[in-house]
Amino acid sequence: MDTVYNGFMALLSFCVVAAILWYGIRFLKAQTELTELKIDKIKREIDILDKEKHNTPL
C-alpha cells in the first residue's frame, strides 16, 4: 500500500511541476509578444518624429 501511495504522490508532483512549467512558458511568451508590440509602437513613434523633424523648415 505504501508503494501505491508513493507512486501517486510522485505522479501528483510531476503533474504540478508540468502545470507550473506550462503556465510559466505561456506567461513568458505573452510577455515577449507584449514587449515586441511596445518596441514596434516606439519605432513608429520615432519614425513619425523623424518625419515631422524633416518637414519643419529651419
Rounded to an integer, what distance in angstroms lies between the CA atom of residue 3 and that of residue 10?
Answer: 10
Residue 54: what pLDDT? 83
The mean per-residue pLDDT over the stretch 48-56 comes to: 86
Domain that holds residue 54: 24-58
49 within domain boundaries: yes
Number of separate domains in the chain: 1
| Residue 17 lies inside a defined structural domain of this protein | no
Is 70 exceeded by the pLDDT of residue 57?
no
Residue 16 resides in a domain:
no
- Do the domain assignments include residue 51? yes
pLDDT at 11: 97
Judged by DSSP in three states, 1 sits in coil
**28 contacts: CB under 8 Å, gap ≥ 6:** none
Residue 53 lies in a domain: yes
d(CA 22, CA 4): 27
Q: What pLDDT shows up at residue 6? A: 95
Look at residue 29 and tell me if it is in a domain. yes
pLDDT at 58: 56
Q: 21 is written with which cell numbers? A: 512549467
